[in-house]
Amino acid sequence: MKSISVKRIVVGSIALVVAICTLLSLCFTVISMDLQQGASIAGQLGAALNDSENGFDLLDGKSELLALMELINLGAAQMQAQGGVTVAYSTYEWLGVLTQVFNIVILLAAILAIAGAILWFFFCRSYKLANSVAIVGLIAGVLYLAEGLVAYFVLQSDIEAAISIVQNQQGSTNVLADTKIFGTAAFVPLILIVLLDIGFLVVSIVLNDRPILQGYAEGGTAQATAVEQKPAKRISGSEWKAGASGYAMQAAVKEDIFALLGKLKGALDAGILTQDEFEEQKMLMLFDTKFDYLRNIWSLRRQGVLSEEEYALQKAALFRRITEQAKTMEAALQEAPMTEE
């Protein structure tokens, strides 16, 4: 389990809400029909007065509203056929398949987004997965809006044409063709998701990763996930009995600085170096390296690659390794004192 910070809690919560909203977007009406103002026409065509369908209703590809519209188009075509004109009426099999595919994609995206938000909160260090959840929610909202708009414009255009045909056949002067019989609420989920994504972005920028809870290992010690450095090269055939300032700087390039410091201390304890020589060599080595590793992880922290909690863990692990290596080297030198070649 990753260390928990205020930023992780807030960002994770927003990401989870975005994922849930993506799923619940299928509850909003994709297309609705209201024939209240055209009740007489609806009665002649055997049509119901009201009907509406959401994403879940259209998952199976069987839309009662599309079937109703086909009946209305068929009735209008039959009226035209009475005048000796053969008219092909519109069917909506393609529209049913389109809405089914869109809704299945949105449903799968929502399930993956919910799983991704939960997994990221507990197990992931990087924010890439959380960002992906926010992006997936936005894409799903756009798809749902596109589905609703396509259904709206296609069906509204066809119902206006059907009403015009019926009115012409009956000689009616009632202008019903301008009535907006169809409607959609597919834009609502996109608005909600956009607002949540804006909050997600603001929180990601403003809040810092300040740990409020750390994961613990079995022994009760805080886990430190320090980045392991590559094994340092060991120089052979050399010894520490030298006072030249260039020697320490060359060795620091080739060998792990902290192991060399341990050897310096061992050489001091063995009497190979005096206290002044030890201090001189130590300062030269530290000045030359400038604590490269510590500086690197600090740079990564400032660049946002490492969070505050990760930087603290890396630094603690670094200092712990220094202490352990110094003790190891001191013990080894006490057991086997260094000798000149």
Higher confidence at residue 291 or residue 264?
264
Identify the band that residue 284 occupies on the pLDDT scale cut at 50, 70 and 90.
low
CA within 13 Å, CB half, 111 = 5
pLDDT at residue number 215? 43
Per-residue model confidence (pLDDT) at position 193:
95
Looking at residue 157, its pLDDT comes to 87
Name the percent of the chain in helix, strand, coil, to the closest 5: 65, 5, 30
Residue 9 φ/ψ region, left for φ over 0, alpha for ψ in the -120 to 50 degree band, beta for the rest = alpha
Q: Measuring CA to CA, which residue among 115, 116, 114 is closest to residue 22?
A: 114
The more confident residue out of 81 and 30 is 30
Token pair for residue 86? Answer: 């053969």
Segment 150-163 mean pLDDT: 86
Best-predicted range by mean pLDDT (59-68, 93-102, 209-218, 304-313): 93-102
Report pLDDT for 241. Answer: 43
> Is 83's pLDDT higher than 70?
no
Q: Show me where the domains of the chain are located.
A: 4-213, 245-335
C-alpha angle with apex 149: 145 to 155, nearest 5 degrees?
145
Where does the pLDDT of residue 300 fall: very low under 50, low under 70, confident under 90, or very high at 90 and above? confident
Residue 139 has pLDDT above 90, yes or no: yes
CA-CA distance, 48 to 31, in Å (whole number)? 15
pLDDT interval class at 165 (50, 70, 90): confident
Phi and psi at residue 101, in whole multiples of 5°?
-65, -45
Residues whose CB falls within 8 Å of the CB of residue 173, separated by 6 or more in sequence, listed in order: 167
Rg (CA), the chain: 36
Among 171-180, 191-200, 225-234, 286-295, which stretch is predicted with the lowest mean pLDDT? 225-234
